[in-house]
A and B are shown apart, each in its own frame.
Chain A
Amino acid sequence: MDVLALLADGFATSLSPLNLMIVIIGVTAGLFIGAMPGLGSVNGVAIVLPLTFIVPPSSAIILLAAIYYGAMYGGAISSILLGIPGASTAVATTFDGRPMAQQGKAGLALIAAAVASFVGGTISIVLFTLFAAPLANVALAFGPAEEFALVLLAFTTFVGLGGDDKLKTIVMICLGLVLSTVGLDLISGQPRLIFGDIPGFYAGISFLVLAIGVYGVGEVLYTIETSKTAPQVTPARITWRELGNGLREMNRLWKAMSIGSFLGFFVGMLPAAGATPASLMAYGIARQTSKNPKSFGKGNIEGVAAPETANNAASTGSLLPMLTLGIPGSPTTALLLGGMVMWGLVPGPMLFIEEPDFVWGLISSLYTANFAAVAINIALIPIFVWALRMPFTVLCAIVLVLCIVGGFAPSQKMHDVWLIAGFGVAGYLLRKADYPLAPLVLALVLGPLMEKSFRQTLIAEQGNVLAFVERPLSGSFIAIALLFFALPLIKSLRRTGSRGVAPAE
């Protein structure tokens, strides 16, 4: 089979000593980042991205993907041991993971989480491998009109499917898009939005500056406010016998884990959804279909396995549209996309033709990362128990220093460091007032593509706006986008309608 040959070539890349070492480093770093409350995959990738200049571009992406991957495993660790999700993606894991730990079954819960993550990861990577090339082939037929329609579709999923306030979501999307237009106009080459000729703005606002600001500095401020007292770490020791028991226990979890894997993968592909809703949905479905739904929330191991498979599957799923279409499925993959563009690897269907070594190297590295993550996760549990005792004041201080230095390094301008501080405070305040930050970051990353494809289409079609609807593919994307946009309106109309009929509920 063609895919297998390409994958085999990929393994030649990902199993090279450098890349293998990078996967191990990345996964370990990701596990720690994920395990630390307050830091998730998106924070880890944002803070570590500037440090990856030290390795060649393709290895840098493998490193970031490994961190992303490791963080999904790591999130469960603090959910179980502290009762605080290590990342938002591990919220659902606290529901049953914490009660298990309190019953003295922390070790079993940790093993279940790691093995479930491994199963979810593996199934989703196989799905990824099967879907990637065909999807990239479809995307080859895309012109600027389709690109524009697809970006529009990605944004409307936030409005239609995202759980946040609709108006606030729209404000954040527009803000991100406007920030992306700062700098030189793509078509005419003239400077715009340089705010009274500030030289730093000529180069535009880098996605990295916004991401480090919002996910680095902003996150630290949020952590300072919410972490008044240090949480209690539940001790956990893993013996060989416990490991054996845990693995035997996993045998009866196949149903929960397959629900999580498939659901996670497909939900993860949607820009507005991602790993957090995927894991919550998987938890809900596992409870509904379980033989004893009453035991959920009281330390049922299925309640740990389902969300943990789902969040790993979703993280792989969100890589699929990013790599094949150039449209990220989550804020973390938006950062990966930005990083790839920075290194001259433009995601999209052409990447599969022009850089097959890189693409298949990355895909095969997900397989190796998955194996490395499950092994390192279980082996290092005692170290995680120790590391989770690290006070927030130490963690926050280190993260802030990394934000300053990492923000300076790519452009070597203090202007960017000031912007990071500004975005950090602004991002913190916006988050406090329930403005969603993911669409903001996604909009900044996708803004240039959106504007360029819009204007290119119109120039090519002599200003004919109907060009977007006349092409079948872009027309149907726009139709779905309109549907998503109208969805909240229809829902609210129906709600007011039903309220009129039956006010009591």
Chain B
Amino acid sequence: MLTADRLIAISLMALSLYFMWHATVLPIGWNGMTGGPGGGAFPFWLSAIMLACSGLILLRTFLPDARASFTMDSTMLRPLLAVVIALVVTIALIPIAGAYVALPLFLLWYLRIFGGHGWTLTLSLSLVTPVVTFLFFEAALKILLPKGITEPLFLPLYAIFF
């Protein structure tokens, strides 16, 4: 799929340009006062090299003997997209509904619907994971995970562990 190769090269070029544009906030040239380049020079010129190299990669895909490096089994596109969407939904849900709702829901979806596993495995993993997470991060490490609207439910647990 040469198209995918080209799209990736074009995205990298666009990213380099975006970086270069942001890097110009600080001086990108030689700073005569202190000696040496300004604060924006490093990101700016490295992005410029990146732009040039990804440009060459793009040009190379138009050569007559160009071969695609990006190959994909198209039947796997759907499961991949499903996992990415589930991941995004889970992360978005964490600050709202709390990690202890979002993560078990994710496991429930992944194991039962995506993986097609039995209820015993699904439920035991979905229940054990939050408990272990709580004991490890909150009780032992004192790192509080976001709880969103479920925060009040944890107050009695805090009273026990802190």
Contacts and interface: CB of A to CB of B under 8 A. Distances in A.
Given A224-B83, A458-B35, A188 B26 contact: yes
B70 A391 contact: no
Contact of A405 (B5, B22, B36, B99): B99
B149 to A, nearest CB: 15
Contacts of B56: 167
B19 A461 contact: no
A414 B94 CA distance: 9
A459 B36 contact: yes
B47 A174 contact: yes
Interface in A181-219: 181, 185, 187-188, 190, 192-195, 217
Contacts of B19: 178, 193
A434 B69 contact: yes
A185 B39 contact: yes
A432 B74 CA distance: 13
9 contacts: A167-B57, A167-B60, A181-B46, A192-B23, A224-B80, A414-B95, A421-B91, A424-B87, A432-B71
Interface in B74-90: 76, 79-80, 83-84, 87-88, 90
A433 B69 contact: yes
A354 B107 CA distance: 46
Contacts of B111: 393-394, 397
Interface string A100-129: 000000000000000000000000000000
A232 to B, nearest CB: 19
A192 B69 CA distance: 34
Contact of B90 (A167, A190, A404, A455): A404
B133 A54 contact: no
Given A185-B39, A188-B26, A459-B35, A397 B110 contact: yes
Nearest to A188: B39
B76 A393 contact: no
Interface in A285-314: none
Nearest to B70: A433
A178 B46 contact: yes
Interface in A413-445: 414, 417-418, 421, 424-425, 429-430, 432-435
Given A412-B143, A432-B72, A405 B8 contact: no
Contact of A397 (B8, B39, B115, B133): B115
A171 interface: yes
B42 A177 contact: yes
B125 interface: yes
Interface of A: 51, 53-54, 165, 167-168, 170-171, 174-175, 177-178, 181, 185, 187-188, 190, 192-195, 217, 220-221, 224-225, 228, 391, 393-394, 396-398, 400-401, 404-405, 408-409, 412, 414, 417-418, 421, 424-425, 429-430, 432-435, 451, 454-455, 457-459, 461-464
B53 A174 contact: yes
Given A54-B136, A409-B137, A421-B87, A451 B42 contact: yes
B141 interface: yes
A421 B111 CA distance: 20
A175 B9 CA distance: 13
Contacts of B133: 401, 405
B141 to A, nearest CB: 6
Interface residues of B, number: 68
A400 B87 contact: yes
B151 to A, nearest CB: 15
A192 B27 CA distance: 10
- List the 6 shortest-distance A-B pairs measured between CB atoms, nearest first: A393-B115, A458-B36, A463-B35, A185-B39, A434-B69, A174-B50
Question: Looking at A400, A412, A430, which has the most chain B CB atoms within 10 Å of its CB?
Answer: A400
A405 B134 CA distance: 11
A301 B89 CA distance: 49
A401 B30 contact: no
Contact of A401 (B37, B60, B107): B107
Given A51-B136, A224-B80, A429-B8, A167 B103 contact: no
Contacts of B136: 51, 54
A54 B84 contact: no
Interface string B41-67: 011001101100110110010000000
A433 B6 CA distance: 10
A225 B80 contact: yes
B50 A414 contact: no
Nearest to A168: B57
Nearest to B144: A412
B76 A228 contact: yes
Given A192-B23, A409-B137, A429-B8, A401 B129 contact: yes
Contacts of B115: 391, 393-394, 397
A192 B36 contact: no
A192 B141 contact: no
Nearest to B108: A397
Contacts of B34: 187, 459
Nearest to B140: A54
A463 B141 contact: no
A171 B48 CA distance: 10
Given A228-B76, A412-B143, A417-B94, A433 B26 contact: no
Contact of A394 (B54, B76, B84, B117): B117
B140 to A, nearest CB: 6
Interface string B18-38: 010011011000101011111
A404 B106 CA distance: 11
Contacts of B94: 404, 408, 414, 417
A178 B46 CA distance: 7
Given A433-B4, A461-B35, A463-B36, A217 B87 contact: yes
Given A171-B12, A397-B115, A462-B35, A178 B43 contact: yes
A190 B95 contact: no
Contacts of B88: 421
Contacts of A194: 22
